[in-house]
Amino acid sequence: MRPLFFRLGVALVAGFGGLISDHVAFAQEWPTKQPLKVIVPLTPGSTADVVGRVVFQQVSKQLNQTVVVENRPGAGTTIGTAAVASAEPDGYTILVTTASLPVLPASFENKLSFDVAKDLAGISILADMPFILGTSTKFSTLKEFVDHAKSASGVMNYGTAGVGTSGHLFMEALGIHLGFKATAVHFRGTPEAVNELVAGRIDAYPLAVMGGLELAKAGKLNTLAVSSGRRVTQLPEVPTLTELGFGSATYNFWVGAFISRKTPPAILARLNNEVVTALKDKEVGEKIVALGGAPQPMSNSQTDAFLANEISVNGDIFKKAGLQVGAAK
């Protein structure tokens, strides 16, 4: 008769084997069980919404599976983000969001129902979508803008889409690195802020290219600098901060895809493969470029590392700017 511990060992191995078999079978079944849901924690027509639809429309074709995009804005993007972080980790609920994600740990310190780094896994960054520093037409160059800000400290006003948003932190970082102070005016969204900028009631606003291109071409606002290290195709005359000698103020604005950290590795890897394949599609790439961006495919591990670095960078800006923790709405 075999010892009891041996029989127990065999039973445990058999049990784990069954769990592993179920896990593999589930991964093989995905994504035929049900449609994929892409949650965008921002309004329809936002940069994340438009880029997400472009990429996941192609993913839908590749998988031969329906993909439904659902907008869940509110509370500084935390409502939609929390929904994905707490969703069933079955690969069917995906988050598409922006560079506002790594700001959350600082702006909602200890007040979130989820941990950005621990509860969300990176599928891939989708696109680099740099900010354009949009200003009223009285400023023709970044030097003019900075000189005015330094001569009238506190009188210079800039708009944001909310406290603690990535645009807010970009403008704060710009002031820190270029040595000026300005007053933030917070709006419920980009349209209201842009209206005030065009009317001359605020001095500046960090614009996504898709949000300011036509106004810039019409001469209703000026575009002084690009936040990232590359110029954008639609506004080739606008220099980067690096070209202007302010490389330390470079700020990443991007759109990325994430999912519950508990999602089976096989599904996470498959999602990465499908998204990267979509980003390499010629038509998808052309659409992203037309929006002022550039496809930015990454592996799962690269996306996680990128997010961790962004959390650190934004947390540092938040502290240096003396922003109030928990103030984001």
Residues 99-129 pLDDT 10s: 999 999 998 888 899 999 999 999 999 999 9
* Residue 155 or 273, more confident: 273
What does the pLDDT read at residue 29?
84
Given a cut of 80, is residue 203 above it in pLDDT? yes
Query: Which residues, other chains included, contact 98 with Cβ-Cβ below 8 Å and sequence gap of 6+?
Result: 42, 46, 47, 48, 77, 129, 166, 253, 254, 255, 256
Strands 67-71 vs 36-40: parallel, antiparallel or unpaired: parallel
Q: Residue 165: pLDDT band by 50, 70, 90 thresholds?
A: confident
* Burial of residue 56 (number of CB atoms within 10 Å: 0-12, 13-18, 19+): buried
What does the pLDDT read at residue 327?
46
What does the pLDDT read at residue 11?
45
Please state, for a pLDDT cut of 90, what percent of the chain lies above it: 68
What does the pLDDT read at residue 210?
77
Residues 65-93 pLDDT 10s: 999 999 999 888 999 999 999 999 999 99
Q: Residue 64: pLDDT band by 50, 70, 90 thresholds?
A: very high
What's the DSSP call for residue 23? H
Q: Residue 26: pLDDT band by 50, 70, 90 thresholds?
A: low
Mean pLDDT, the chain, whole residue set? 88
Residues 168-185 pLDDT 10s: 999 999 999 999 989 999
* Burial of residue 164 (number of CB atoms within 10 Å: 0-12, 13-18, 19+): buried
Q: CA-to-CA distance for 227 and 204, rounded, in angstroms?
A: 14
Given a cut of 70, is residue 7 above it in pLDDT? no
What does the pLDDT read at residue 121?
98
| C-beta atoms surrounding 80 within 10 Å | 22
Given a cut of 90, is residue 164 above it in pLDDT? no
Region for 45 from its dihedrals, namely left if φ exceeds 0, alpha if ψ lies in -120 to 50, beta otherwise:
left
Across the range 277-295, mean pLDDT stands at 95
* CB-based contact 39:6 (threshold 8 Å): no
Name the residue among 281, 295, 287, 96 with its Cα closest to residue 210. 287
Domains (ranges, CATH) in the chain?
27-129+253-320 (3.40.190.150), 131-249 (3.40.190.10)
* CB-based contact 129:47 (threshold 8 Å): yes
Length of the chain: 329
Strands 120-128 vs 294-295: parallel, antiparallel or unpaired: antiparallel
What does the pLDDT read at residue 154?
64
* Burial of residue 112 (number of CB atoms within 10 Å: 0-12, 13-18, 19+): middle
Q: What is the pTM of this model?
A: 0.87
Across the range 201-218, mean pLDDT stands at 87
* Residue 28 or 56, more confident: 56
What's the DSSP call for residue 103? G
